[in-house]
């Protein structure tokens, strides 16, 4: 079940990467790609509920905020602002979720590498968008690369060998 849900996350990330990269400069299309990516990833994380209920609650709040923002994002005058806010919402809640997972598993346990990779990617994205604040072309490129890396990472995780059992 978890492998199928991870494969669904990989597909969502591939949709996000494709929609963002091949949008021909239309930031509204990129915003919709991020919205699809966010809703699918948050929904899959809620369904998986591999960890504690707290992780599911964080992802549920992220899903609700994403959907709520999607309903009012037409009020923002600039399409780039919509894109930017969606990226910040998605990266923040993914970062919070992975932080809870990592600290509940105590970082040093073998087999926790995939969560550390996810956490690092979300942190890098949050730093880039939160502090560096790239322009339109840079932002689209960074988010496209982020989704592509996640698609490959989750795809390998879903189709790769089963992890070794801990003693």
Determine the Cα–Cα distance for residues 50 and 55; give it in Å rounded to an integer: 9
Are 41 and 69 contacting, i.e. CB atoms less than 8 angstroms apart?
A: no
Q: Is 11 exposed, middle or buried (0-12, 13-18, 19+ CB in 10 A)?
A: middle
The label of the residue with tokens 């960074």 reads 142
Domain boundaries, the chain: 2-159
Over 80: is that where the pLDDT of 114 sits? no
Confidence at 25, pLDDT banded by 50, 70, 90: low
Are 55 and 96 contacting, i.e. CB atoms less than 8 angstroms apart?
A: no
**Count of other CB atoms within 10 angstroms of residue 4:** 12
Task: For residues 122-129, give the mean pLDDT.
Answer: 86
Are 111 and 166 contacting, i.e. CB atoms less than 8 angstroms apart?
A: yes
Higher pLDDT, 108 or 55: 55
Q: Residue 88 has what pLDDT?
A: 82
Determine the Cα–Cα distance for residues 131 and 123; give it in Å rounded to an integer: 11
Share the mean pLDDT of the chain: 78
CA atoms within 13 A on the CB side of 162: 6
Task: For residues 118-142, give the mean pLDDT.
Answer: 83
Over 60: is that where the pLDDT of 125 sits? yes
Alpha-carbon 23 to chain mean position: 19
**Residues above pLDDT 90, as percent of the chain:** 0
**Nearest of 35, 43, 42, 1 to residue 16 by alpha carbon:** 35
């Amino acid at each position: 079940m978890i492998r199928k849900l991870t494969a669904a996350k990989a597909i969502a990330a591939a949709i996000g990467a494709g929609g963002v990269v091949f949008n021909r400069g239309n930031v509204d299309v990129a915003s919709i790609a991020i919205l699809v990516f966010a809703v699918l990833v948050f929904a899959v994380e809620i369904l998986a509920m591999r960890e504690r209920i707290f992780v599911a609650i964080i992802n549920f709040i992220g899903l609700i905020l994403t959907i709520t923002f999607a309903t009012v994002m037409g009020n923002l005058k600039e399409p780039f602002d919509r894109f930017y806010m969606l990226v910040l919402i998605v990266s923040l809640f993914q970062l919070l979720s992975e932080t809870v997972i990592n600290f509940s598993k105590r970082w040093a346990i073998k087999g926790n590498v995939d969560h550390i990779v996810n956490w690092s990617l979300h942190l890098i994205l949050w730093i880039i968008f939160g502090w560096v604040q790239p322009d339109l072309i840079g932002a689209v490129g960074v988010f496209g690369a982020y989704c592509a890396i996640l698609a490959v990472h989750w795809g390998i995780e879903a189709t790769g060998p089963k992890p070794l059992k801990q003693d």
